[in-house]
Amino acid sequence: MQILLIEDEVNVVSFIRKGLEEQSYNVEVAYDGKMGLKMALEKEYDLILLDVILPGMNGLEVCKEIRSRKNIPILMLTALGSTDDVVNGLDNGADDYLRKPFKFQELLARIRALLRRKYGPEINSITEIGGLEVNHRNKSVKRNGIPIKLTAREFYLLNYFLNNKGVLVSRADIAENIWDSSFGNGSNVVDVYVNYLRNKIDKNFNPKLIHTVYGMGYIFREEND
């Protein structure tokens, strides 16, 4: 799991980083708001920890900007503690907040809860369907025992299919859940990514898992076309 920590206080950074690394999370740090925003938009993270009072650009603005473009769990860290700031944070798209000072165990519990909420309850386990094996903890994927490398986006897409197994999902459903965006008519971004995923997990294997329902969308289930 990749976590981006946007925080300017060196002591807090080292406290959080050390604790999370002990729990096998990978942590990258941005010490100001602008750098944090840049990293959040350019790279793929599983979760963002975001301080409110930051040099350059404050955490609320950073949160709003990230949220307008990405569907990623954001946990705000606030020293301010007033109800207004909490409400502001949530209004700007944060998923949860934690008041400083906090105990590390509390932070860990919040992070786990957000990751569970976002990526499904089976985050610690392995899902198997038609010879496809998905390890939600380290995000590794195999089919018939052969390791398959997916990008973060492809993995989220696969996870979405797994959570909607046997259900017809439209392109709009996928766009909203994976990109937090509707793209608009005429965009083929969803089809492009479904094809990337299909080429990796289905093309050389049977039974097929991703099925196109003409004019409607896709169904993920174990069945030969």
Nearest CA-CA partner of 17 in 25, 37, 100, 74? 25
**What is the nearest approach in angstroms of Ca ion to the Cβ of residue 36?**
11
The 3-state secondary structure of 90-128, one letter per residue = HHCCCCEEEECCCCHHHHHHHHHHHHHHHHCHHHHCEEE
Nearest CA-CA partner of 80 in 37, 51, 109? 51
Q: Residue 51 or 85: which CB sits closer to Ca ion?
A: 51
**What is the nearest approach in angstroms of Ca ion to the Cβ of residue 9?**
5
The alpha carbon of residue 99 and the mean position of all alpha carbons in its chain are separated, in whole angstroms, by 23
CA distances from 29 to 4, 16, 32, 49 (A): 6, 10, 9, 10
Starting at the earlier edge strand, list the strands of the sheet with 2-6: 26-30, 2-6, 47-51, 74-78, 96-99
Site string for Ca ion, 11-50 (x = CB under 5 A): ----------------------------------------
Site string for Ca ion, 47-86 (x = CB under 5 A): ----x-x---------------------------------
**What is the nearest approach in angstroms of Ca ion to the Cβ of residue 54?**
6
Q: Residue 9 or 191: which CB sits closer to Ca ion?
A: 9
Asked whether 75 and 102 are in contact (CB, 8 A), the reply is no
82-141: which residues touch Ca ion (CB under 5 A)? none
**What is the nearest approach in angstroms of Ca ion to the Cβ of residue 32?**
10
Q: Residue 50 or 114: which CB sits closer to Ca ion?
A: 50
Q: Residue 100 or 118: which CB sits closer to Ca ion?
A: 100
**What is the nearest approach in angstroms of Ca ion to the Cβ of residue 117?**
26
Counting contacts by CB under 5 A, is residue 8 touching Ca ion? yes
Q: Residue 51 or 202: which CB sits closer to Ca ion?
A: 51
Do you know the residue count of the chain?
Answer: 225
**What is the nearest approach in angstroms of Ca ion to the Cβ of residue 66?**
17
Cα separation, 19 vs 67, in Å, equals 26
Binding site for Ca ion (CB under 5 A): 8, 51, 53
